[in-house]
Structure 1
Amino acid sequence: MSDSKENKGKNELYEERVSQAKTVRKIVVWTLFILLIVGVIVGLTGYNYIKSAVGPMDSDNPEHVEITIPIGSTASQIGTILEEEGLIRNGTVFRYYVRYKNESGFQAGDYLLTTGMNFDELINELKEGSIMEDAELIFTIPEGRWLVDMIDIIAENTEHSSEDILAVIEDEEYLLQLIDRYDMLTDVILDDEIKQPLEGYLFPARYDFMEENPEIEVIIESMLNRTQNIINKHAELVNNSEYSVHELLTLASIIEREAQTSEDRYMISGVLYNRLERNMRLQVDPTVAYAIGEHLYITTFADLEYDSPYNTYLYEGIPIGPIAGPGEDSFIAALQPDDVEYLFFYARVSGEVLYSNTYEEHENIAEQYRQEWRDAQEENSGE
């Protein structure tokens, strides 16, 4: 009996060990399988990232970008320049790509490149030293200008009349084509109450053209490309925003018209957000001036009653559309407002902006400095 029990015990122990071994083998097999799957996923993700990184930034709507490569620049420094100028996605990947391809012989100088170039095309341009040609047409659009003022600047520098440029910009068939081509443009710009469909979408900057008198569409689309690239550059912030691109550009245009310094742009943005969160009317004077269509030094009580969806004294929320062409800093400020407690601000003639928490404080500030604007208006009218 004792031998039988002993044998039975040995058999059970053997079967238990066999079972444990099978379990271990299954765990090992599944672990290896999972690691293999993870490795494949990581490999495919890395491959797709590298493939995207070495490809063009925007092959559909390529934009010309001027860059300067200083003498003695390394591949790492060139990669940083290209990334900062929006020509590539990642400067570090560029550096490793150059090392992998064993490329060298980059030439210092000024270049006119495009966002439609991939790594190989950029490398060839920089190696061959295809220095930028002298532009036939150069003009600059300052930040914060109304679209009608932008049109006048373009007309002054080209053979196109302001009327012809405006006719193209307001052509609905052309606008529909642009909406199909640009992610930032939607049917909202076709609203009948919008004064200028592309207001706020034409980026203020210096423009260089190789032709002396490029087509109106070429000029417009060069300016649209700049704005689209800025939006793409900050896509993560845009996607996480509670506001649409149209609303963000509208806020940015208000900020641009009110602030002269970068610090004030972010603080004013914080004030605007505070008022929006409290369902307060924004009550900013530049929206009234835009609604009326006059550059006002002083906003009168009669002006404040001007009925327009742009008038933020009459209507709550963000206005129906942008009121000027904002620069990149104002657009970022609209995306990342400072965390402030202020609900009011007052811009002086000097550009200084004074902030306050209560309406009484704001009114006292306005009363103290209002005469500055009266004097500025008289001085301007006398010129």
Structure 2
Amino acid sequence: MTEYGQGPGSQPWHPDDPLYGDQEWNGGQPVGQQNGWNQPPYEGQPQQPYYPQQQAPQPHAPQQQYDGSAYGWNGQQYDPSYGAGGTDPYGMPPVDPYGTGEQPDYYAAQGGYPPPRPQHMRDRPGPEMYEQQVHAHPGHPGYPGHPHPGHPQQGDHGGGPGAPDPETGWDPGPDRGEHAFFADRDEDDADRQAFLEEEEDSRRGRRGGKGGKPKKADGTKRRSGCACAVVAAVLAVGVGTAGYFGYDFYKSHFAPAPDYSGSGSGEVQVDIPDGASISDMGAVLKREGVIKSSGAFVEASNSNKKAQSIQAGTYTLRKEMSASSAVDMMLDPASQNGLIVAEGWRAKKVYEEIDKKLDAPKGTTKKAADKADLGLPGWAKGKPEGFLFPSKYSVGKSSKPEDVLRQMVKRAEAEYSKTGLESAAKKTGKSPEEIITIASLIQAEAQQDHEFGKVSRVIYNRLDDGMLLGFDSTINYAKGRSTLNTSVEDTRYPSPYNTYLHKGLPPGPIGNPGHQAIEAALKPTKGNWLYFVTVKPGDTRFTDSKSEHDKNVQDFNAEQRKQNGSGG
């Protein structure tokens, strides 16, 4: 763009530009001097003087003197030969850049609008700016050369529909104005009429019971109620699915867990595995048909504080009983079919109790122990004694003796692993088997909890000094009995387990020790005791003096005489 008064200003105007004549300035030129020629002002606007401007000649616009008769203005014929040489792509006369020639006064014409493009130029593409303003395409009413009703054509500059405003010069264009608002109304009315006819045909088809879909006039099939049925079916499935999952969510989060009522009927034995939680127990009971849901058992257990004491084992319960009834029954010792192995029990005692629990002939479990692979460690030398860990075990009517024994050995191995038996035994200078043997002696001799560590220390001290252990418990084990009365003759009983005759530890454990005895065997209490004797229950005396020990033995014998017995 040039400075004010120094150039022609904007690009040459186009006759179909709807904004032409509506601008008050162009490139810095006052009204009446646009595009390099004098023009009269708008109506009511004062006349301004014209001052010619000196401009350099433009190479693309040769200087020619304009002849007013060339356009045939006000009814004169247009000379088609003018502009054919390419001097102006729009067929306009060249502009005198020096303002020396007279220019046509277009606004003095009827209608006040510049003449249209010549007929021979209408099919020629205009400049880029014209294309952006018109936005027309071939075949469109606004495309150059395509007549449009109400739009002024060549020789038509008067008023009428679509004509430019005589005062402002604004032309609504080929696709603007009042007619454009209603341009598509006929098409909309046609579509609406076709839809109504289609619905009417569809209803007639349903009433007539005729198959097939009605067709439009062009042969295409019309829409029918099938689509509506499909949509309805999809919606029904969606609503049903949402309802199902919503109800399931409500049941799992807010509704009480399913449960039976009453105390049930029949009888069923249920095995609760080791380490089972309340929820795990509920799952087992549901699987066996005892309760209706695991959730109901958890809720009943939460309502009963004693339920936390329910342990692993075999329980005799009923079918289809309420969860609260199942909790109460499992807390009743009468329903517990577990076998309790007490601390210090010998293997012989354990075998007998298993036979009783299984209603098996006497000696059945002993034979199974001699033949079955119980999973004993290598240092056990194939002997279950000392590895039937004291605890509560599940023994049902369908249980097998070897299976019960395997449970006990597995529990013992878990206990030994927890205490770190093998590594701890090395620190004491003993083997794992010797530790279990010492623990079995402690379990048989100690009476009170505080005595376990002291008895362990007496064993270690006597072994270190090379003394005989001289324990009555070893003689009782050798003779297969349990008594406090040991005679002098008993001390001469020929058995490798008789510690009155043989120094050191017996060949193996004399029972099955518990956790406390094993801990005492690994960590004896510090002291120099070499002797001890239990004068009466709760009165066990430890000493490192032989004379004092002999006096304590006399007190023990006196107590036994009161009880019609004797002791050593």
Q: TM-score, normalised by structure 1?
A: 0.59
Residue aligning to 1:204: 390
5 Å matches for 1:258-273? 258-273=445-460
Alignment-derived partner of residue 55 in structure 2: none
Pairs within 5 Å for 1:217-256 = 217-235=402-420, 236-256=423-443
CA drift of 1:155 comes to 2.1
Secondary structure of the residue aligned to 2:274 is strand
Counterpart of 1:218, as a letter, is: D
Task: Please show how residues 138-157 of structure 1 align to structure 2 within 5 Å.
Answer: 138-157=338-357
Please state how far the C-alpha of 1:322 moved relative to its aligned partner: 0.9
Is residue 314 from structure 1 mapped to residue 501 from structure 2 by the alignment?
yes
List runs of 5+ in structure 1 lacking aligned partners. Answer: 1-62, 71-106, 115-130, 190-196
How is 1:143-222 mapped onto 2 (pairs within 5 angstroms)? 143-171=343-371, 174=372, 177-178=373-374, 181-183=375-377, 185-186=378-379, 188-189=381-382, 197-209=383-395, 211-222=396-407
Select the residue among 271, 274, 280 that pairs with 1:65.
274
Cα gap change, 1:136 to 1:297, in 2 (>3 Å): closer
Q: Distance in 2 between matches of 1:113 and 1:204?
A: 14
Relative to 1, partners in 2 of residues 1:160 and 1:205: Cα closer, same or farther, differing over 3 Å?
same
Determine what percentage of the aligned residue pairs are the same residue: 26
Q: Please list every run of 5 or more consecutive structure 2 residues that lacks an aligned counterpart in the other structure.
A: 1-271, 280-300, 314-326
- Matches of 1:200 and 1:155 in 2, distance apart? 19
Of the three residues 484, 487, 495, the one matched with 1:297 is 484
- Equivalent of 1:334, from 502, 505, 521? 521
Change (3 A) 1:169 1:287: same
1:161, distance to aligned residue in structure 2 (A) = 2.7
Q: Deviations over 1:103-147 (max 9, x none)?
A: xxxx96658789xxxxxxxxxxxxxxxx9x957621211111222
Structure 1 letter corresponding to 2:513: P
Counterpart-to-counterpart distance in 1, 2:486 and 2:474: 10
**What residue is the counterpart of 1:364 in the other structure?**
551
Determine if contact 2:536/2:559 at 8 Å carries over to the other structure: yes
Question: After superposition, what is the alpha-carbon deviation per residue over 1:310-334, rounded to whole angstroms, capped at 9, x for unaligned?
Answer: 1111111111011111111001111
Which position in structure 2 is the counterpart of 1:100? none
**In structure 1, C-alpha distance between the alignment counterparts of 2:425 and 2:502, rounded to whole Å:** 25
* Alignment partners' CA distance in 2, 1:241 and 1:213: 44
Structure 1 residues 249, 67: CA separation in 2 closer, same or farther (over 3 Å shift)?
same
1:29-72 CA-partner distances (Å, limit 9, x unpaired): xxxxxxxxxxxxxxxxxxxxxxxxxxxxxxxxxx94246679xx
Task: State the SS of the aligned residue for 2:413.
Answer: helix
Q: 1:286 to 1:187 in 2, by over 3 A?
A: closer
Residues 254 and 322 in structure 1, CA contact (< 8 A), matched pair in contact too: yes
Could you say which structure has the larger radius of gyration?
2
CA distance in 1, matches of 2:276, 2:557: 45
Q: Deviations over 1:63-107 (max 9, x none)?
A: 94246679xxxxxxxxxxxxxxxxxxxxxxxxxxxxxxxxxxxx9
| Residue 489 (structure 2) pairs with residue 280 (structure 1) | no
RCO greater where, 1 or 2, for CA within 8 Å and sep 6 or more? 1
CA deviation profile, 1:255-276 (whole Å, cap 9, x unmatched): 0111122210111001111111
Match of 1:93 in 2: none
RMSD: 3.1
Shift in alpha-carbon separation, 1:371–1:149, aligned structure 2, 3 A: farther
Corresponding residue for residue 123 of structure 2: none
> Matched residues in 1 for 2:554 and 2:430: separation?
34
SS in 2 for 1:348: strand
Aligned partners of 2:376 and 2:381: how far apart in 1? 13
TM-score normalised by L of structure 2: 0.41
Distance, in Å, in 2 between the alignment partners of 1:359 and 1:338 is: 20
